[in-house]
Chains A and B, each alone.
Chain A
């Protein structure tokens, strides 16, 4: 067998290489090009937030697969379809039905927000032009975008519609996880372990080697913190992204309020018109959620019709009105507190020590949500003003990513010989790599762990013909 017959898989990260944000992973093997995810970096705006798209001839792409609707995985899709030469080629675009349904609303909101900040990547019209190009798929459905390439989406937990992709490119199998969770929560199923062993696993590493509290502890910490702030006469601010964890928090709060009649006169506001629109999508896709939710729904108890949550009327200056009013709980977006309603409320509530902020998601470096966790005495307002920070700050992670033990267990179950870590900050990723490497060394297993930086192409060679290899021993 000569060298020319040694096929090479090239993995190039246009984003999410040793960083969290702008996920975009290019896979090239035997003349086929598959791209997984097309996100933006949440700490930047405009073109600076894009993945490094100049590195790829987009007309050569055979398929672009989007794992879920979060902006760091989906928000540069319109740009790629409209502003690059993608459409000169034969590339097809896929996401699940539920992802597509939420994606549309998410992106309309994204366009509105980015045009108001004066740095839009594309227009609402361009967004609407690209929607018909997205082919919706279902979990477990095998799709073949072009000869020699097929993929199957598997549930990834994380958020509604999120999936992993098990790719088969000319016989080589690659699992791309996107963001995933292995903990069954109030509404979603946990990530599945696909029945086939891939040659390469490309896996998120957001939490590195960190351990997160178990579910009951987390919920107890969260609800007792909310209750404590209310008792001392304060306002509770929960910065969240409109879609995703917000729905989980609403389910928890609704249940807690139900069990605590003394709270019934304390309003819980959910300030998001986007979420209101998307709630219909959640109700439509109840069949994809877990047994708990489906069971309640069958008993005509629609869990997404909340008893104790009110949405805020769209009046001007509602932030001020709520801030001046009696104690209440407000879920407001965005989760990173860098702009918008959540930021507005933070600036109004920061000086009063009765108020409390609870961060529930992963906070990207360089955002207010991350900075305020160090409990600074002062914060800088969006108008450049200095605001004293006396409100309490707590962090209870409900972000639906795997922690170290869940990730390590999943990686073991998948059993790939090459593990590529993506979607993690440099240090977190480095620690995870170290932990995994020493584990495989102890077990005397030949498993390679890679942590490529953006545009640092990783070439993996696989000798000879790829044939279905027997799994296990």
Chain B
């Protein structure tokens, strides 16, 4: 059964949704989906996500439970030309469609995030390179 998380750009009237399997989706995967759905692959923006109380989801590995509504915000890149939005879709070319990151994010929960503690995006890129599809299954 597929689950949804709802998101709305701060200025938008209508909500959109991201669907996935499982009980939650990581902040990283949600950002990636929002960027893809809205074709935001520009290098000059940062994409931020907030909860209802306007608290930012700063931890990419945090799992947002299904049915949550979040607020998205496009911001100019904090460093011009080095927008972080690109990071979330950087490894897409290498990922194969079967190893759908959404389903993995959902089914495996926080424990599955290879929280190696090294480099901020180290664990994330591992999930997109398709080399570790059976981790924690």
A residues in contact (CB < 8 Å) with B: 17-18, 44-48, 50, 52-56, 58, 83-85, 119, 426, 453-455
Residues of A within 8 A of B11 (CB): 53-56, 58, 83-85
B57-82 CB mask vs A (1 if < 8 Å, else 0) is 00000000000000011111000100
Q: In whole angstroms, how far apart are the Cα atoms of A54 and B48 in the complex?
A: 11
A-B contact pairs, 23 of them (CB 8 A): A17-B76, A18-B80, A45-B39, A47-B9, A47-B39, A48-B38, A48-B40, A48-B41, A48-B42, A50-B74, A52-B74, A52-B76, A53-B9, A53-B11, A54-B10, A54-B11, A54-B72, A54-B74, A54-B75, A55-B11, A56-B11, A84-B11, A85-B11
B residues in contact (CB < 8 Å) with A: 9-14, 38-42, 45, 72-76, 80
Q: In whole angstroms, how far apart are the Cα atoms of A323 and B80 in the complex?
A: 41
Q: In whole angstroms, how far apart are the Cα atoms of A83 and B11 in the complex?
A: 8
Residues of A within 8 A of B13 (CB): 83-85
Name the prevailing secondary structure of the B interface residues. loop
Minimum CB–CB distance for B97 against chain A, Å: 20
Q: In whole angstroms, how far apart are the Cα atoms of A133 and B50 in the complex?
A: 33
Minimum CB–CB distance for B98 against chain A, Å: 25
B14 & A455 in contact (Cβ 8 Å cutoff): no
Residue in B closest to A456 when the chains form the complex, CB atoms: B76
Residues of B within 8 A of A50 (CB): 74
Q: Given contacts A48-B40, A48-B45, A56-B11, list 20 more A-B pairs with CB under 8 A.
A: A44-B42, A46-B40, A47-B38, A47-B39, A47-B40, A48-B39, A48-B41, A50-B74, A53-B11, A53-B74, A54-B72, A55-B73, A83-B14, A84-B12, A85-B13, A119-B39, A426-B80, A453-B80, A455-B75, A455-B76
Residues of B within 8 A of A55 (CB): 10-11, 73
Minimum CB–CB distance for A72 against chain B, Å: 15
Residue in B closest to A118 when the chains form the complex, CB atoms: B39
Q: In whole angstroms, how far apart are the Cα atoms of A48 and B44 in the complex?
A: 9
Residue in B closest to A57 when the chains form the complex, CB atoms: B11
Minimum CB–CB distance for B85 against chain A, Å: 9
Residue in A closest to B37 when the chains form the complex, CB atoms: A47
Residues of A within 8 A of B73 (CB): 54-55
Residue in A closest to B42 when the chains form the complex, CB atoms: A48
Q: In whole angstroms, how far apart are the Cα atoms of A78 and B39 in the complex?
A: 19
Residue in A closest to B83 when the chains form the complex, CB atoms: A48
Q: In whole angstroms, how far apart are the Cα atoms of A44 and B14 in the complex?
A: 23
Q: In whole angstroms, how far apart are the Cα atoms of A46 and B42 in the complex?
A: 10
A454 & B76 in contact (Cβ 8 Å cutoff): yes
Residue in A closest to B14 when the chains form the complex, CB atoms: A83
Q: In whole angstroms, how far apart are the Cα atoms of A84 and B14 in the complex?
A: 8
Q: In whole angstroms, how far apart are the Cα atoms of A202 and B42 in the complex?
A: 28
Q: In whole angstroms, how far apart are the Cα atoms of A55 and B12 in the complex?
A: 11
